[in-house]
Structure 1
Amino acid sequence: MPDQAVLKQRPQDFIVREAMVVELTEPADAAWRYLLLRKSGYTTMEAIRLIAERLDLPTGEVTYGGLKDEDGVTEQLVAVPARVPLPALGAEGWRVADQADRWLHLHHHGYGAEPLAIGRLEGNGFRITVRNLDPDRARRLGELRKHTLFFLNYYDTQRFGVPGGPKRTHLVGQAMLAGDWDTALRELAGLRAPESPQAAQWRGPAEEFFRTLDPRNASFYLAAQASFDWNAALRRAVDDSCAPQTSTVELDGLEYRYAERPLAVLATASDLPYAKYTFTDGTAQARTSARPTIVQTSVSLTPAAPDELNPGRSRIGLGFFLPSGSYATAAVRQLLGLIPGAEADAPVPTAPELTAGEAS
């Protein structure tokens, strides 16, 4: 069997908890109620739409600070107007959806004066199980116990599409920025995203469809294009700083460039400009911020253990914290590259194969 690490073979293999500190007030003085959203099988935007529907609210009145993928168990804060009555939230919370593989629960967190907004998030904590590892390689990883990791801060492939779907969200954003709304609508219809069926059935002017979306949703596609451009800039920085000790890898049709000594990038590009978009009244507006090229984190690793889902293979556990906007899968992919394969003289890979549950 090839040494292909597997993430997210089960949702509980990928646990994410958002870190956001909000100022709390007395209920009588509050304009907003903060809720802890625990979910699996839903994107944040799907969850927001479902909560708004159940509470008979416009989606814009359910606010959040960050996006969490559907393929894991995730926890984050959301806010709803304090005036809105909610079902009684007991010890088990409000089970908005409760299927075996697709569930969404809400728990009371507190009251405050302000809604939540993108940009207020401090970061995310991760607890991850990596499966399907060669036993010897897993043993050596586990023996690290604690490791300070510096990794190239790429937007990973999930930024550009839903699990199992084509990684082309950036093409929707690209067409939106060019004013080519017919192409944007056609690309969106083929993404298998939650709004793809509505896009496929739309019969009016294509531009009007995007006006019907929650502006935060439309902005996501513009952000995907900005992320695609930023990844290209980081690839160029790796070439400029680290050549010839670089390697190019194609992941889900997207190109990534890795280096044996990625810290060399800091000498020429400690950060790169990134365009942040909002979509208001059908118009894209951008502002520029700086995104670091290298991220540092401290990774805790558990000893290797037999992988009960993949006989003859091993698993390890990882725990770490990342600042907002950095991708755990990008960190894990580069962490795994620290350990050579089973052969004693094998070179250290810079981007080992990493799948997200396809081996299950």
Structure 2
Amino acid sequence: MTQDPAPVIKHVPEDFLVREALVLELTDSADAPFQYLTVRKRGLTTTEAVELLAAACRVGSSQVTYAGRKDEDGVTEQFLAVPAGSFGTAPEFRHAAGDSWMTARHYGYGSTPLRIGALPGNSFRIVVRNLHGDHVASLAAQRRMNAFTLNYYDTQRFGVPTGPKRTHLVGRALLEGDWETALGEVVRLNAPESRGAAAWTGDPGDYFRAEDPRRSSFYLAAHASHEWNAVLMEQVAAHFRESHYPTYVDGLEYRWLHGAEDAARLLSARSSLPYDRYALTPAGITRGVSERPTVLQTVIDVQDSASDEAHPGRFRATLSFFLASGGYATSVVRQVLGYRPWSGQRTVRS
């Protein structure tokens, strides 16, 4: 029996649209120390957008703040904050290089910088391609789904789309104080920062001390995320010994459930798990502990369906939903499309 071809997400960046859901308190420009900008980008990480904007505003990258990171393999909209007066009077900032681009426009003035952890969530509009006719017909018939899915950190947490998923290994080396191994792992990431890491000739520890501390904190967070995923998989195996299945995405293992009802049962049995929070400070690495939900709940609207021009003979559907901050839309879509009665389509390609 031939397995049905897998659904595809992120066939092109325009298939994956995300916008921050953040309400900013605005103040009069005369008294405000910060200027808020709306940034729309394609093919750039948030770190790259920060560096481009910092150069344009002639400020340090640490003076450009944000509430959430956005991936480069989509079209994303988010807020960035810069020191008031540094953006100038131009109506917008534009950057383009190959298939990558970004624009930044004035939004308003405020009294506080943006910070990680202050973002309530994100809204998504995702085109899923290469669907079987029966599959897309079932999605279209539902129109709206009350979805429960496991709250895994998805593969974006562990590397860029074109590189191996190893950011958690950088974080582990940093925690162990093995600066040389950490630097070598950055080189292996095939990420925008890998070229600078490969050219570094000084003390490996100085490389990380010279970097924006938010980048090193991200590596530490990736390590914590990998460990958290492993604990969640243990919980899934313990509660659903016979009714879960392993799958691999970009070389990383996950254990998925067969339906939203099972995910809701896990939410009832174990609503959250402890999560380690690390940060690199001048005094060293600090550690805190918080709780992360084991299961996400969202309402998915099926907005339209049609023939898929990118995959002849197949179909596409557009899914729209909101996720609280920390949730991964790609993981939600992969799991929902893997639920029965479509258990033959458990792998979703990006």
What TM-score comes out, normalization by structure 2 length? Answer: 0.95
Aligned partners of 2:236 and 2:255 also within 8 Å: yes
Moved more, 80-89 or 246-255: 80-89
What TM-score comes out, normalization by structure 1 length? Answer: 0.93
2:289 is the counterpart of 1:288? yes
Per-residue deviation at 1:282? Answer: 6.6
Spell out, residue by residue over 1:112-136, the C-alpha distance to the aligned partner (whole angstroms, 9 max, x if none): 0000000110100000000011122
Aligned partners of 1:235 and 1:257 also within 8 Å: yes
* 1:73 partner letter: V
CA distance, structure 2, for counterparts of residue 265 and residue 191 of structure 1: 34
2:346 corresponds to? 352
* 2:347 partner letter: E
**Identical-pair percentage:** 49
Aligned partners of 1:170 and 1:225 also within 8 Å: yes
Per-residue deviation at 1:15? Answer: 0.3
2:67 is the counterpart of 1:73? no
2:219 corresponds to? 221
Spell out, residue by residue over 1:77-106, the C-alpha distance to the aligned partner (whole angstroms, 9 max, x if none): 0000113142411xxx321x1346211101
Per-residue deviation at 1:192? Answer: 0.7
CA distance, structure 1, for counterparts of residue 64 and residue 267 of structure 2: 39
Consecutive unaligned residues of structure 1, counting only runs of 5 or more, are 342-347
Spell out, residue by residue over 1:165-196, the C-alpha distance to the aligned partner (whole angstroms, 9 max, x if none): 10010000000000111111111101011111
Match of 1:146 among 130, 144, 149: 144
Match of 1:12 among 14, 17, 20: 14
Query: Mapping of 1:298-313 within 5 angstroms?
Result: 298-313=299-314
- Tell me the matched-pair count: 345
CA distance, structure 1, for counterparts of residue 98 and residue 271 of structure 2: 44
Partner SS, residue 172 of structure 2:
helix
Consecutive unaligned residues of structure 2, counting only runs of 5 or more, are none
Per-residue deviation at 1:232? Answer: 0.5
Query: Mapping of 1:20-31 within 5 angstroms?
Result: 20-31=22-33
1:94 corresponds to? 93
Aligned partners of 2:338 and 2:347 also within 8 Å: no
* 1:13 partner letter: D
Partner SS, residue 29 of structure 1:
coil
Aligned partners of 1:32 and 1:112 also within 8 Å: yes
- What do you get for the CA RMSD once the two structures are aligned? 1.4
Q: 1:282 to 1:254 in 2, by over 3 A?
A: farther
Q: 1:82 to 1:139 in 2, by over 3 A?
A: same
2:196 corresponds to? 198
CA distance, structure 1, for counterparts of residue 212 and residue 133 of structure 2: 47
CA distance, structure 1, for counterparts of residue 340 and residue 312 of structure 2: 21
Aligned partners of 2:244 and 2:257 also within 8 Å: yes
Moved more, 15-24 or 260-269: 260-269
1:121 corresponds to? 119
Spell out, residue by residue over 1:6-50, the C-alpha distance to the aligned partner (whole angstroms, 9 max, x if none): 111111100000011111001011110000000000000110011
2:171 corresponds to? 173
